[in-house]
Amino acid sequence: MAHCERASKPLLQCLQKASTRGLPALQLSSTRAFQTSARVQEEAQSEAQKQPFNKSPDPALVSSPRLERRLIRQGISPVGSRRRRAALQGSANIPFAQLPYQCFQEARKVLLQDREEKLEEITRLREKIARLEARPTEEAGGEQVKKSRLGGMQKHLEHLKVLADINDPQVKKKFEDGQGDMSKPIYRYLADQKWREYRRKILVQRITQMKVVPDVLPHCDPIVDTKLYFNRSAVQPGDFVQANASTTAPKLDIQLFEGGEKLVTIAVVDPDVPNLETDSFDFRTHYLAVNVPISAISTKVDLAQLSADSQVVLPWEAPVTQKGSPYHRLSLFILEQKDSQPLDFAAVKAKESVRDNQLLRTLQGRYHLKAIGAHLFRSQWDETTLEVMEKIGFPLADVELRRKKIDPLPYKRRNPSTFR
């Protein structure tokens, strides 16, 4: 008996007791013990040609680590926790509505009633919004008033949509199993909460501690979850990426938590290009693409696959760091275009043809962009940098940076006359 199976034994005992008393119809199916052999026998009688479990394990029921690994290798991830999967192996998997617990059913009734109330409220609010929209502007008290009232009502409507489903155990289960439908507001809301709980905090900490936010852009409040992949391996915000891994453009997974589609501009900027003449650092744009559509359901963006004649302004340039130079921060920003209107690609391409010292602040002001997402990775000199430099024709490959020696302050007499 596996560890998880032993752990879920009390649950099973509870189930057995309840079913023998409360629900005779389900007694047969729910009083089975954890021994899978009995079940296999039953099923063997019903359908003889069924494959054994260890040949084709069910992702919802598999509990042994070996079978789990096999599933993961096939590209199927097991559903939920191992403990839950082990418990489900022996249970009859009765739907919530038929579970034989009186208190549970009473509680469900309360939740269902609450949901009914919320749905009623939603229909009422929808009617109200329709009425307000139908009214002429003068009667509603001016354009500004009408607009603000409509905006407030829409916001409340979205809130009600979330409230209607937030207490549903089925919704919670689906979301936790990763089967949530992101086109529905409730799952978007839950995903947003989950992102804000940990991943967003990490991201914000990285971009502020590594000073990306005052250096590249004055301000950024991320509202989309961005994941970055180089060669199918995910990069955490702020990770060092090897030079040969970042020769090809990364793939992005941009999760929007709002309904509708947005057109965004994606820019990768390096604010750490050493400049020996001015003894400071320059900027360099490694990538720039405009009019990239993102939405809650279509999240994958491959920077290498974007169309060169309508989206990519500056194609990907592999980041390399000279030997001895401080590490380079490659900051990726996702900037929302104003009112999700497409930018004039030809005009942008004509204007933004220079990579060096192109400030993202300037672009932001010029095209009325707003930063809604960010990511960050770093690059430094490593063993693969040299070959990448040769491949891309980096001009300063044979130059190394050394720390400049700063002259010490002149010697000061320890016992000057003022001390005496």
Binding site for another protein (CB under 8 A): 211, 214-216, 218-219, 271, 274-276, 279-281, 323-325, 396-404, 406-409
User: Minimum distance between the CB of residue 14 and another protein, rounded to whole angstroms?
Assistant: 32
Q: Are the beta carbons of 149 and 194 closer than 8 angstroms?
A: no
Work out the number of other CB atoms within 10 angstroms of the CB of residue 274. 17
Backbone dihedral angles phi then psi of residue 140, each to the nearest 5 degrees: -75, -10
Instruction: Please tell me whether residue 284 adopts helix, strand or coil conformation.
Output: strand
User: Minimum distance between the CB of residue 222 and another protein, rounded to whole angstroms?
Assistant: 17
Residue 142 vs 214, nearer CB to another protein: 214
Residue 32 vs 284, nearer CB to another protein: 284
Instruction: Please tell me whether residue 11 adopts helix, strand or coil conformation.
Output: helix
Residue 164 vs 216, nearer CB to another protein: 216
User: Minimum distance between the CB of residue 72 and another protein, rounded to whole angstroms?
Assistant: 23
d(CA 212, CA 220) in angstroms, rounded, equals 10
User: Minimum distance between the CB of residue 398 and another protein, rounded to whole angstroms?
Assistant: 5
Q: Are the beta carbons of 291 and 328 closer than 8 angstroms?
A: no
Residue 260 vs 408, nearer CB to another protein: 408
393: left (phi over 0), alpha (psi -120 to 50) or beta: left
Residue 97 vs 406, nearer CB to another protein: 406
Residue 197 vs 383, nearer CB to another protein: 383
Rg (CA), the chain: 30
User: Minimum distance between the CB of residue 319 and another protein, rounded to whole angstroms?
Assistant: 18
d(CA 238, CA 206) in angstroms, rounded, equals 6
- Burial bucket for residue 123 (CB in 10 Å: 0-12, 13-18, 19+): exposed
User: Minimum distance between the CB of residue 417 and another protein, rounded to whole angstroms?
Assistant: 20
User: Minimum distance between the CB of residue 382 and another protein, rounded to whole angstroms?
Assistant: 14
User: Using a CB cutoff of 8 Å and minimum separation of 24, what contacts does 324-327 make?
Assistant: 324/381, 324/400, 324/401, 324/402, 324/403, 325/272, 325/274, 325/381, 325/401, 326/272, 326/274, 327/240, 327/272, 327/378, 327/379, 327/380
Residue 132 vs 276, nearer CB to another protein: 276
